[in-house]
Structure 1
Amino acid sequence: MRRFLFLFAFLLSPAALALEIQTSPQIAAHFRDAKVSGTFVMLDVGAQRWIGHNTARAATRYSPASTFKIPNSLIGLATGSVSSVDEVFYHYDGTPQYLKSWEHDMGLRGALPVSNVSAYQELARRIGLTPMQQNLSLLNYGNKTIEGGVDQFWLNDSLKISAVEQVQFLTRLAQGALPYSAEIQAAVREITLLETGRNWKLYGKTGWTGRKQPSIGWFVGWVEQDGKLYSFALNMDIPDASDLPKRIDIAKASLRTQGLLPTVK
């Protein structure tokens, strides 16, 4: 395993400047075997040890796509735009949606797992442009740029964030260290929980910039295992929608190289 010290140019995210990341041939092999180009980066929070693949790309910013639903949920709760993750704020109007699972009324608890774009656009409109900008700055989220409308900026390449910055943001959420109440952070952690086992929990959110090229897919989150915390982010090129499942498959395989999550039998 090689160790590099990266001093990235101004086009790359400031959060990754002078960041030391161990590169893993095992993780690289998962991308190679899946025949996709991308990056994976993980922080062992207790040891403050970074490991990953394609570290230059890990420091490069892309649209967060639906991974922005995590900070959008936090901001919605913090601004009082919704009172809780269970408040039904999205009311389906009968218009055919991209997914059938979006075609009913729901709150954040229902909207985040199915990644309901329309629901989160409604939430963003409730929040409003100025409070949204103020909270993105408060969170220091990516480039903090809002252009093209309050319900479009995370979908239209205005807002951008790197995999490294995703890990840093999610680490703070997992630790309850964001500038919001403990109750708000706990509520959002609860609705991002994906899987649990005897001694571990996996939290996360996928994202996809859609069929426009270049198309980027995300899977970001964290693992709590044996009382320790590991935050991660993957992004990859999505040449075809059939590649979407590889986001989670490669991330989980990469986590397993670090002794996290159960081994696939």
Structure 2
Amino acid sequence: MKTSVMRRARRFSLLLTALAGMLLSQLSQAEQIEAHPELGAVFKTMGVTGTFVLFDVANDVQRVYSPSRAQVRYFPASTFKIPNSLIGLETGAVKDLNEVFRYDGKPRMLKAWEQDMTLAEAIRASNVPVYQEIARRVGLHSMASWVDKLDYGNRQIGKMVDQFWLGGPLKISALEQTRFLAKLAQKKLPFSEQTIDAVHAITLHEQTETYQIHAKTGWSNATKPGIGWWVGWVKRGDQLYPFALNIDIRRDEDAALRVPLARQLLSRLGVI
């Protein structure tokens, strides 16, 4: 009888511990959500449907257009090149930013990919075959471990190490993108300073006298409609503003709207 009571007490204690862990996890993501429906005018002018999230890190506020969609997970597509770069450099799958990935002579989807490239060149050209090679070098077990450690989206990579970010099972929401990018921008991810500095360097999209934009596009056509991304962060002095845009891609021309649309939204919110 005494043993049975002790077992029940132990199970209860373990349950309380688990619940406490879940609560702490929720509290760690309990930033304020501030809806900005007026931003819908920009989407309407561009003729697209989507969501936009701007994370004001200093004030712990997520400024959001379409909060319901901002919580929906989609395939990250080429935005996963950011964590893939971090993981590749940290594990040694990529020697350094000067390592050259040799073009194998096979036809590519884009002519721009049919040449040798460094990592910096590959991320700017969004060269899928190069990043598939990096993922294969990292390996399935190591990649799964890193994706889980980073708490990236649904943390599911399946069994194909060079496909999971393109057509699943990995998915991530716009809100989760900004949380991940906030940690990267603040250098709070579990990587060496050298690795983080390298990825900061290769994601630099624009630099002016008043701000920097680090960013990466993404485009998945694995669903109908397709999903287009532009994610990154703006640095203004000591202030950081991670952001994430995703839109429905109903025609190829919509993809060209991602960056100008997000730039208009960033301007409306006074960040650039």
Query: How high is the TM-score relative to the length of structure 1?
Result: 0.89
The 1-side partners of 2:95 and 2:249 are apart by 36
The 2-side partners of 1:29 and 1:41 are apart by 15
Other-structure match for 2:86? 74
Q: 1:17 to 1:197 in 2, by over 3 A?
A: closer
Among 238, 247, 253, the residue aligned to 1:236: 247
Other-structure match for 1:154? 165
SS class of match (2:124): helix
Give yes or no for contact 1:196–1:202 (8 Å, CA) kept in 2.
yes
Q: CA deviation at 1:104?
A: 0.9
Give yes or no for contact 2:166–2:222 (8 Å, CA) kept in 1.
no
Q: CA deviation at 1:79?
A: 0.8
Q: Does residue 91 of the first structure (1) align with residue 102 of the second (2)? A: yes
Among 82, 104, 109, the residue aligned to 2:115: 104
SS class of match (2:93): coil
The count of residues paired between Structure 1 and Structure 2 equals 247
The 1-side partners of 2:194 and 2:184 are apart by 12
Q: Does residue 178 of the first structure (1) align with residue 189 of the second (2)? A: yes
Among 242, 248, 252, the residue aligned to 2:263: 252
Q: CA deviation at 1:18?
A: 5.8
Give yes or no for contact 1:43–1:230 (8 Å, CA) kept in 2.
yes
Q: CA deviation at 1:206?
A: 0.3
The 2-side partners of 1:48 and 1:40 are apart by 16
* 1:27-51 deviation line (CA, Å, top 9, x unaligned): 2111111121100011111111211
Alignment of 1:5-16 (within 5 A): none
| 1:162 aligned partner, one-letter code | S
| 2:55 aligned partner, one-letter code | L
Q: CA deviation at 1:94?
A: 1.2
Greater helix share, 1 or 2? Answer: 2
Q: Does residue 192 of the first structure (1) align with residue 188 of the second (2)? A: no
Q: CA deviation at 1:157?
A: 2.1
Q: CA deviation at 1:107?
A: 2.1
Gaps of 5+ in 1: 1-13
Other-structure match for 1:117? 128
Query: What RMSD over aligned residues (CA atoms) do the two structures have, in Å?
Result: 1.6
Moved over 4 A (4+): 14-19
The 2-side partners of 1:212 and 1:175 are apart by 33
| 2:200 aligned partner, one-letter code | R
Q: Which has the larger radius of gyration?
A: 2
Other-structure match for 2:8? none
| 1:223 aligned partner, one-letter code | V
The 2-side partners of 1:249 and 1:143 are apart by 29
Among 32, 35, 40, the residue aligned to 2:52: 40
The 2-side partners of 1:245 and 1:151 are apart by 26
Q: 1:163 to 1:32 in 2, by over 3 A?
A: same
Give yes or no for contact 1:141–1:165 (8 Å, CA) kept in 2.
yes
| 1:35 aligned partner, one-letter code | G
The 1-side partners of 2:215 and 2:76 are apart by 13
Q: CA deviation at 1:211?
A: 6.7
Give yes or no for contact 1:16–1:164 (8 Å, CA) kept in 2.
no
* Larger displacement relative to structure 2 (22-31 or 196-205): 22-31
Query: How high is the TM-score relative to the length of structure 2?
Result: 0.87
Other-structure match for 2:38? 26
Give yes or no for contact 1:172–1:178 (8 Å, CA) kept in 2.
yes
* Larger displacement relative to structure 2 (124-133 or 246-255): 246-255
Give yes or no for contact 2:33–2:62 (8 Å, CA) kept in 1.
yes
